[in-house]
Amino acid sequence: MELRPNGPGAAALRELSRGIGTLTGLQPSLTLKAGPPILTLGSPEAARPALNELNALPLSEEAYALRIGLGSEGAEWSGSGYAVLRGGSERGLLHAVFRFLRLIGTEQDGPRELHEVESPRSVLRMIDQWDNMDGSVERGYSGGSIFYRDNRILLESERIADYARLLASVGINAISVNNVNVHREETKLIAAPLLHDVKRLADVFGSFGIRLFLSVNYAAPIELGELGTADPLDEGVRRWWKRTAEEIYAAVPEFGGFVVKADSENRPGPFTYGRDHADGANLLADALAPFGGLVLWRCFVYDCHQDWRDRSTDRARAAYDHFRPLDGRFRDNVILQIKNGPMDFQVREPVSPLFGAMPKTNHVMEFQIAQEYTGQQRDVCFLVPQWKKSLDFDTFLNGPGSTVKRIAAGEVHPLPHSGVAAVSNIGNDDNWTGHHLAQANLFGFGRLAWNPDLDAEEIAAEWSALTFGAGTPAAAFVRELLMESWPVYESYTAPLGVGWMVQPHYHYAVDVDGYEYSKWGTYHFADRNGIGVDRTLGTGTGYAGQYAAENRDLYGSPESCPDELLLFFHHVPYTHVLKSGKTVIQHIYDSRFEGAARVESWIERWRELEGGVDDERFSHILRRLEGQLENARQWRDVVNTYFYRKSGIPDEQGRNIYA
Ligand code: GCV
């Protein structure tokens, strides 16, 4: 096989020899065969039948096939054992290598026999950086940017290549490298002289099979081109984007395309010119189309200057109301990027009703790995179970079984593009993610994007074993801790799906009324009798009516609505009895006490592992858990006191509430 010196095939070869050496101490000879990209390890004679078989296998580009033959008789790599790794392309081969290394790393003695053929379920598996060129990261909780400092790209930094490697190891195939809020300096990324540096970045990611995208400023023709308008129907503007695309592709032929946040949170967009989002997205799509480029157009469009006195406007409705009527008007290379929930990455939200509701439009789901509203990488909150809940959600939009994961895999509507995207959680902290355990979220996103059918616990177990050692007590406890962490975080923060009880702008610490009288459209409406937002069709904002009948009915009455989303859809008295048999107020008290107590118990369990985990990680995690306990106690006491004062209803168990 002809290997491109800096292509994913070369990376596959390098990673396999390096990984095997690190994990097993062996330095086996590797053979790279001519023809389809194949690597063999161990005995060539023993490998031959598998090699011939895998050689003939039809595989799609990113697919791989893996055969391991160590037998039960104690054959080893140095003896008659073998492994054959085959990719549908060099990228597929790299996936095979990382899969193989994960297998060796998670099973104490490595697998003895294996025959596996896999391809990714979602075509686009994308990471969005919210990095700014001044070196800051929007909603970054792990230090500064690994990409930029002082308005330049850190091309000399080894961390960028390490990051590409890290993402490739879990199957990510696309990255957008700057914040969707595109400020002055970042606007220039699409023009010379910065394009030269962008090309070098694209090469780093390309060598691991990852395509590079940029977030663009919708008003770039004004800011860079000195045009007086960014009107999508203006001929001068169209010419400007066309020429810009030509320049980009001349410099970066493998460029992926644009990510766009338009008419959202004060960013410019087509609304300024009385145009809609199809006009805006198609303008960019037409410019990129000759080069195979894509436009990822975000649907996070809502009124962020709402009057809290106005009860008729519901932010949750906004994405659907803006975009649903445009179905069928977008070009083939436009992909709408829809946040997983209708609000904004809260601990608990229903799935966005827009997802699956545009059968003629490419769309991907956007998750947030960065823990903006879920503990900011100070508190442990393993988000894979939350994402699974979204992916498993049945929209019923194309009959039963129209789950989000099937739509994201392109299995429900025959559209050219589909997949998932997520906001990254990394920075230049030594451990990448601020909280050491927050790495599990980045890992987990990649694994789920590859295969949304994987079990959350399986992913937690895999990451824990790879990180703390297969079969160790630390790995066993971390798996358990990860799996408990999202429900526990939910149990001491905002109750029953209502969300938003955080300090405005910062979004970490508790402030029950912080957003209550604000312009952001994020209210809980607690009064002395009850709490929650009526989003029903009959008496509320009508949001529930944006779902297919099955879900509309499910959410439409407090009796059928799942407890965890009750206050998202309904305003109920504190005495309303939940399916659990508890009243809303007693649930609030109990879960806050239980949540804080659970965090306390984690600290005791973690202390028992002293000596079994290296000192650095042991004390780092201990400090973080202690901080989490402080946070959980503050939430517990503020929320309980607030609702006791509002309702006047005492805790049945007479615990300490600071009345
Ligand atoms: C990048 C939320 C965050 C913003 C973020 C925005 C978005 O509102 O708080 O920091 O901006 O989402 O997703 O565009």
Q: Which atom of ligand 1 is nearest to the CA of 179?
A: 1
CA 102 to ligand 1 center in whole angstroms: 34
CA 304 to ligand 1 center in whole angstroms: 11
The predicted model scores a pTM of: 0.97
Residue 599 in this model has a pLDDT that exceeds 80? yes
pLDDT of residue 253: 98
- Residue having the nearest C-alpha atom to atom 2 of ligand 1: 344
Q: Which fold has domain 492-533+571-647?
A: Alpha-d-glucuronidase, C-terminal Domain (3.90.1330)
Q: Give per-residue pLDDT as tens, 143-187.
A: 999 999 999 999 999 999 999 999 999 999 999 999 999 999 999
Residue 1 in this model has a pLDDT that exceeds 60? no
pLDDT of residue 482: 98
Ligand 1, pocket-test mutation among 267, 338, 344, 371, most atoms within 8 A of CB: 344
Host H or E run for residue 14? helix 8-24
Distances (CA, A) of 635 to 548, 638, 640: 36, 5, 8
SS3 at position 478? helix
CA 583 to ligand 1 center in whole angstroms: 35
pLDDT of residue 110: 67
Q: Please give the average per-residue pLDDT across 607-622, as a whole number.
A: 97
Band (pLDDT 50/70/90 cuts) for residue 647 is: very high
pLDDT of residue 111: 75
What are the boundaries of each domain within the chain?
8-118, 124-454, 492-533+571-647
Ligand 1, pocket-test mutation among 139, 303, 424, 508, most atoms within 8 A of CB: 139
Q: Which residue ranges have their beta carbon within 6 Å of ligand 1? A: 130, 138-139, 180-181, 261, 265, 300, 344, 372
Band (pLDDT 50/70/90 cuts) for residue 500 is: very high
On the question of a common fold for 124-454 and 492-533+571-647, the answer reads no
What tokens does 271 get? 């609304």
pLDDT of residue 72: 65
Distances (CA, A) of 240 to 85, 244, 267: 47, 6, 20
Band (pLDDT 50/70/90 cuts) for residue 23 is: confident
Long-range contacts of 604-608 (CB under 8 A, 24+ apart): 605/477, 605/481, 606/477, 606/481
Q: Give per-residue pLDDT as tens, 539-573.
A: 999 999 999 999 999 999 999 999 999 999 999 99
CATH of 8-118, one of 3.40.50.1820, 3.90.550.10, 3.30.379.10, 3.40.50.150: 3.30.379.10
Question: Which residues participate in catalysis according to the annotation?
Answer: 265, 344, 372
CA 367 to ligand 1 center in whole angstroms: 12
Q: Which CATH superfamily is domain 124-454 in?
A: Glycosidases (3.20.20.80)
Residue 245 in this model has a pLDDT that exceeds 70? yes
Band (pLDDT 50/70/90 cuts) for residue 24 is: confident
Separation of alpha carbons 211 and 164, rounded Å? 10
